[in-house]
Amino acid sequence: MKNKTRSLLALALILITTLGCGFINQVKKEVEKSQAPKDVFATDNSCKITVPGNWQTRADLQEDAILQVANTFSEQYAVVISESKTDFSEDSSLLDYAELLQGATRQRVNGITFSEIRNIQINGAPAVQYEAEGMVDKIKIKWIFNLIDSGKTYHQLVLWTLPSKYEQNKPIFDNVINSFKDLRDSDATVSSKNSNISIKTK
C-alpha cells in the first residue's frame, strides 16, 4: 500500500512538474512574441516604421496623422504626418519646413522650447531632427521631431513621452526613427496641410 501511495505521489509530482514547465514555457513564448518588433504601415501604405511588439496602433493621437502608435503603459507615443512638397515653394528646404513647424507649434504649446536643429539621414533620406519640451494641459511633454524629405513628400515622424521617461525611452525611439521607410520611392503623399501636433496621453 505504501509503495502504491509513493508511486501515485511520484506520478503526481511528475505531472505537476511537467505541466508547470509547459505552462512556464508557454508564458515565456507569449512574452517573447509580444516583445518582438513589428512593422506598422501608414493608412495609405506610403510608409512604415518598426516598433516594439507591445506598441499598439491608435487612431486618436493626431487627427492628420497617417500612422499612430503607442505604448501607453510606458508613455511612448509616435505619429507620422505627410505633406506633398507641391504645396510649398520650389526653393523650400527641410530647414524652412522645420522653422515653419516650430512656429506653428509655439502657438499651441505653452512655454515650448526647442533644441538645435540637426541634419541627419534616416534610411538614406535627408532629414532634420530636433527636440522640444513644453506644457500641454498642465502636463510636461518632451518630443523628438524628425522631418524627412522623400523627394516629393515631407514626412514628420514625431515621438513623445514624459520628461522623466525621456532618457529611458530614447534608445527605443532611436530604433523607431531609424526604421522609418518611405514605400512609394519618392512619390508624393498628399495629406492635410495642418501640421500642428496635438497631444493625448492616457
The pLDDT tens digits for 59-115 are 999 999 999 999 999 999 999 999 999 999 999 999 999 999 999 999 989 899 999
pLDDT band at 185 (very low <50, low <70, confident <90, very high): low
40: which 3 cell numbers?
Answer: 506598422
Contacts of 91 (CB under 8 A, 6+ apart): none
| pTM, entire model | 0.77
Q: What is the mean pLDDT of the chain?
A: 85
Give the pLDDT score at 186.
47
Question: Following CA atoms 89, 93, 96, 98 in sequence, which dihedral angle do they give, to the nearest 10 degrees?
Answer: 120
pLDDT beyond 60 at 140: yes
- What Å distances lie between residue 95 and 64, 120, 146, 155, 156, CA to CA? 22, 12, 11, 13, 13
Give the pLDDT score at 9.
66
Question: Following CA atoms 45, 47, 53, 58 in sequence, which dihedral angle do they give, to the nearest 10 degrees?
Answer: -70
For residue 71, the SS3 value is: strand
Of the chain, the percentage scoring pLDDT greater than 90 comes to 70
pLDDT band at 193 (very low <50, low <70, confident <90, very high): very low
124-130: average pLDDT? 97
The Cα–Cα gap between 151 and 190 comes to 13
Give the pLDDT score at 38.
97
